[in-house]
Amino acid sequence: MSEERGKIVTRAVQEIADGMYVNLGIGLPTLVANAIPQDLTVMLQSENGLLGIGPYPLEGEEDADLINAGKETVTAVAGAAFFDSAESFAMIRGGHIDLAILGGMEVAENGDLANWMIPDKMVKGMGGAMDLVSGAKRIVVIMEHVNKQGESKVKKACTLPLTGNAVVNRLITDLAVFDFTASGMELVELQPGATVEEVRAKTEAAFVWRSDQLATSDRSGGDSL
């Protein structure tokens, strides 16, 4: 994966604690499975009916019947269980998923998430995204900070159809980590090599940051945006 994606995945793994039940969204989040430390006991759940997803299989060891929600071949860990999608969605809607790590197309400063479609583009549906943002106990979104045109994906308000309103707890990009609280969007960490000035220039949303608490070597600038 690219250096930028590597930063995102590495930081996302830190959100996972031992014993968690975790759902990984399709796309970038699926890469998190290969980065989970071996000393952590984590059960990865997929809405297509698998609890206990392991790392991607080695070349030549793929099983076409063993796939995740993104239709990628995966492995299963010891103790894994298989069931129909109705049972899987019951787990999600019943609040049994501790953490959902989802991809994003846009995130707004109030925690709105748009991640399931672009107008006029062919899509297969929203998958489990809308259920996950309402049923999982914690929602972490991971995505690149800007799109291919260099435009910020961290918006004042989402322009794409919403997956959920004010549902994001934490956003991790290749530049920074943000939390969403009752007081607004807060910059809490910088990715290695990033500065507050760069984040400010590439972020459309308004956010606050506290230079005495920010996890960064860059201590210049004010304390709010």
- Catalytically active residues are 47
Which tokens is 107 given?
């995130």
Contact 101, 142 (CB under 8 A): yes
Tell me the helix, strand and coil percentages in the chain, rounded to 5. Answer: 20, 25, 55
d(CA 170, CA 187): 10
Residue 75 CB contacts under 8 Å (≥ 6 apart), including other chains? 53, 54, 55, 56, 57, 66
51 φ/ψ angles, rounded to the nearest 5 degrees: -115, 115
